[in-house]
Structure 1
Amino acid sequence: MHRIWTKTAATLIALMVLGGCATSKDKLLPHGDHTMFDVWNQETGGSAGGGQPARQLLDARQGLRRPLTEADVQAVPVTNATYTRTAVNEIHRQFHRLPNPDLVMYVFPHLAGSDPVSVPGYTTVFPLYQRVQYAMPGERLEDY
């Protein structure tokens, strides 16, 4: 009985593999007459089209190609200075520590070890989080 199932399974797998080889790539993925350039022109309104998608695309491009104003030119050094390391900003922390509260735990008296030794009750303190976590610059303003 086991042998019949094995032969049947092997025959089905062989038929599936041969059936996969018998199909044509062009039949599965037919090629149209359109190129990617044709699809691009159709979706963006075309180079000679000037439809609504083409207008939106041109408006977006014009926003990116705008010339720098005087305010933009003057703001560049200020913006770059916030990322530049100097002696002044080296002593100030940019990444503040996030709070990591201490937990207090009382351990009851118990027996420990292979030879039961009595351990008196005691209190221990440990941090809530295993690692120190830091905030991104500007994310947290309070000092800890």
Structure 2
Amino acid sequence: MKKTEVTMAAILIATLLSGCSTSKEEMLPAGDNTMLELWQGKDGGGSARNAVAARDSLRRPLTDGEHQSTTAADSSYSRTQQSEISQQFPRLPNPDLVMYVFPHLANGNTPVPGYSTVFPFYSQVQYAMPGERTEAY
């Protein structure tokens, strides 16, 4: 049992060490240009202006749907009177009573289908005062 563990550990160590046997120059050759030449665009592969022109050719104008979605997203972050009032004076929950009427026969032969109706408990919408807790305890 111990001999197997020692053998497996030796194989694991040999595998890990073989990954470090490569040199940096072999993996990533430096090339003939210095960093200053690359920055100034003297590498022969094009200048900074060519890169900007290539990048601009890939851009496209926004569609109408994208314009509208960005406008809607921008307005969701701004403060409005509506959002300020709803944050300071949140609506209190108004539970509803849902009544379901089972299908039945009226006056002997007239079928009435099943339906549901909703009755709110409060006739008016109630608002919490600023600082009043509205979440469940």
Q: TM-score, normalised by structure 1?
A: 0.30
